[in-house]
């Protein structure tokens, strides 16, 4: 019997980890932000590092509240709430950097590509290997996973590959094309949510644990943690925006490739979901683990594209979405391997190892382009 859910609902949530941390992050971001103006480089670096620490404690608070809310709502609604919260964080960071005077038109593309590679290779591979260490082979719903991959493939190709073939030499959509793709992306994600929550929720329940009855938190407890989940997400958004600006300035000074910023942003926003996915893989609930991982990639593209498109159309900021040849091949390879990996409904350590190899290849080329 799986006692993970019962333990999650009964465990005491520490005040420091869950309540004081978001408040401290809010206050720290506001206070430290005042010292960023015209600061010497050493102080600027120290402040950015402290903001990174505040960001981490706020992320862990988000994770704690998200776990309880997810258990209260049950699958797949709990996973969707956590995914939406993380997507809000990512969109806010990208929007903040896009509206900056020194905006990088390729930032959204690099962040989306990084999120796809981190999730579909790094997180999926780690979960599969981690689960295989304890359980040798694990089962997964082929129908539910194929639904994720079908929509993910369509969104990835339309948003990250199609701009290279629209006739625009800058790998950018024209305004009508960008508007149309944004609407299509939102429609695809909305259709997927309808299938996941209304028409076929059973496709996304874990085959080994969906019949297990576990005590859920009471409504007042669930609502209380939902409130603090929103507060924690807001604190993460506030701190991460300041931290991202400081990190961007630092990377510019040391002349680090722009793609590294996209990797860091994707890592920041995916951390809460990654930890939850790993816990699920360890508990032999691989379907829940993949719901979290693949769902985050789907939400990242399906919701970020409409958001950045709206900002680009409204402000006139340039938006370059088309990937280069090398990154395009890595994305295509990732999608193809993902289809094969989950095609049998069973996974093992080799499946996860292949995904991790592709992930490390991606990292290598980002550091040494």
Predicted local confidence at residue 103, as pLDDT: 61
Predicted local confidence at residue 4, as pLDDT: 42
Low-confidence ranges of the chain (pLDDT < 50): 1-13, 210-213
298-324 burial string, b = 16+ CB within 10 Å, else e? Answer: bbbbbbbbbbbbebbeeeeeebbbbbe
Predicted local confidence at residue 224, as pLDDT: 85
Predicted local confidence at residue 41, as pLDDT: 64
CA 94 to CA 231: how far, in whole Å?
20
Per-domain residue ranges for the chain? 4-367
Predicted local confidence at residue 215, as pLDDT: 64
Domain 4-367 coded CATH 1.20.1420.30: yes
Q: What is the CA radius of gyration of the chain?
A: 20
Predicted local confidence at residue 35, as pLDDT: 52
Predicted local confidence at residue 11, as pLDDT: 44
Predicted local confidence at residue 75, as pLDDT: 63
CA 236 to CA 265: how far, in whole Å?
12
Distant-in-sequence, close-in-space partners of 171: CB < 8 Å, separation ≥ 6: 163, 164, 320, 321, 322, 323
Predicted local confidence at residue 32, as pLDDT: 63
Q: Output the six-digit token pair for 161.
A: 């590959």
**Residue 138, SS3?**
strand
Asked if 209 and 6 touch (Cβ cutoff 8 Å), the reply is: no
Predicted local confidence at residue 207, as pLDDT: 56
Predicted local confidence at residue 100, as pLDDT: 66
DSSP characters over 257-274: -THHHHHHHHHHHHHHHH
Predicted local confidence at residue 181, as pLDDT: 93
CA 249 to CA 133: how far, in whole Å?
41
pTM of the model: 0.79
């Amino acid at each position: 019997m799986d006692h993970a859910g019962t333990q999650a609902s009964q465990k005491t949530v520490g005040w420091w980890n869950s309540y004081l941390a978001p408040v401290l992050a809010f206050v720290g971001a506001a206070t430290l932000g005042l010292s960023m103006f015209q600061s010497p480089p050493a102080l600027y670096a120290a402040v950015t590092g402290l903001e990174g620490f505040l960001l981490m404690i706020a992320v862990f608070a988000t994770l704690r509240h998200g776990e309880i809310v997810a258990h209260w709502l049950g699958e797949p609604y709990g996973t969707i709430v956590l995914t939406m919260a993380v997507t809000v964080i990512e969109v806010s960071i990208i929007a903040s950097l896009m509206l900056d005077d020194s905006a990088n038109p390729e930032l959204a593309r690099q962040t989306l590509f990084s999120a796809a590679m981190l999730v579909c290779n790094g997180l999926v591979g780690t979960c599969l290997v981690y689960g295989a260490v304890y359980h040798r082979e694990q089962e997964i719903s082929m129908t539910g996973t194929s639904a994720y991959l079908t929509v993910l493939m369509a969104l990835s190709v339309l948003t990250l590959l199609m701009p290279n073939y629209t006739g625009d030499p800058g790998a950018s959509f024209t305004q009508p094309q960008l508007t149309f793709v944004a609407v299509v992306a939102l429609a695809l994600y909305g259709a997927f949510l309808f299938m996941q929550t209304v028409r076929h929720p059973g496709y996304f329940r874990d085959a080994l644990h969906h019949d297990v009855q576990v005590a859920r938190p009471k409504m007042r407890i669930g609502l209380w943690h939902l409130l603090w989940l929103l507060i924690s997400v807001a604190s993460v958004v506030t701190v991460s925006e300041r931290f991202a600006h400081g990190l961007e300035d630092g990377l510019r000074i040391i002349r680090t490739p722009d793609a590294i910023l996209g990797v860091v942003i994707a890592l920041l926003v995916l951390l809460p979901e990654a930890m939850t996915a790993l816990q699920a893989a360890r508990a032999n609930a691989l379907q829940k683990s993949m719901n979290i991982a693949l769902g985050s990639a789907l939400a990242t593209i399906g919701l970020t594209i409409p958001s950045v498109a709206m900002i680009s159309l409204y402000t006139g900021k340039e938006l370059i979405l088309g990937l280069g040849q090398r990154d395009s091949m890595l994305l295509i390879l990732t999608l193809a391997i993902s289809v094969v990996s989950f095609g049998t409904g069973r996974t093992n350590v080799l499946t996860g190892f292949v995904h991790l190899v592709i992930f490390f290849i991606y990292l290598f080329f980002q550091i040494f382009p």
